[in-house]
Structure 1
């Protein structure tokens, strides 16, 4: 079994365009993919905002990613958010 953390980020008022620009810049960074990255999914949250779910090997890996990506978040106007981090008992990928 592969363990890790599930990180859920709610971005009230976040748009698909803002998400796509942020993702493009992150994926173009020389440090991408970040250490401990397992998987990523996103989409509209059903209330006019955006939801992101990430899987990382540890909370420390996720926090290190956030520090590297912070300038990109600021550049694209992504609001400051508080992610919800939960332990994953098992992460299954292809």
Structure 2
């Protein structure tokens, strides 16, 4: 089942996000299997929010195993992702 993964990063900055995103997207394994879409931006409270769409929770967790060392390397704080069922996506 496809899922929406939401990650809130309290106190996270655009600079941290961009540094981390640049590292991940230049990896030889990117895009990872099961990846559908990614969006990110300020959360309105001084932190950062990431929302991903994945073909399955398992695909996301496999990505997370590969990406966690990069998160640590770039100084991203540890977070707990929220995973919810994905019912529909509309793209114009």
> Secondary structure of the equivalent of 2:70?
helix
* TM value normalised by structure 1: 0.93
Segments of structure 2 that go 5 or more residues without pairing to the other structure are none
Q: CA deviation at 1:40?
A: 0.3
Tell me, yes or no, if the aligned pair for 1:18 and 1:76 is still in contact at 8 Å. yes
Which of 21, 32, 35 is the aligned partner of 1:34?
32
* Match in the other structure for 2:58: 60
* Match in the other structure for 1:73: 71
Residue by residue over 1:30-88, the C-alpha shift from the partner in whole angstroms, topping out at 9 and shown as x without a partner, is: 10001100000000000000000000000000000000001100001111100000001
* TM value normalised by structure 2: 0.95
Tell me, yes or no, if the aligned pair for 1:4 and 1:91 is still in contact at 8 Å. no
Alpha-carbon separation, structure 2, partners of 1:13 and 1:53 = 17
Structure 1 segments (4+ residues) deviating >3 Å: none
User: RMSD over aligned Cα, in angstroms?
Assistant: 1.1
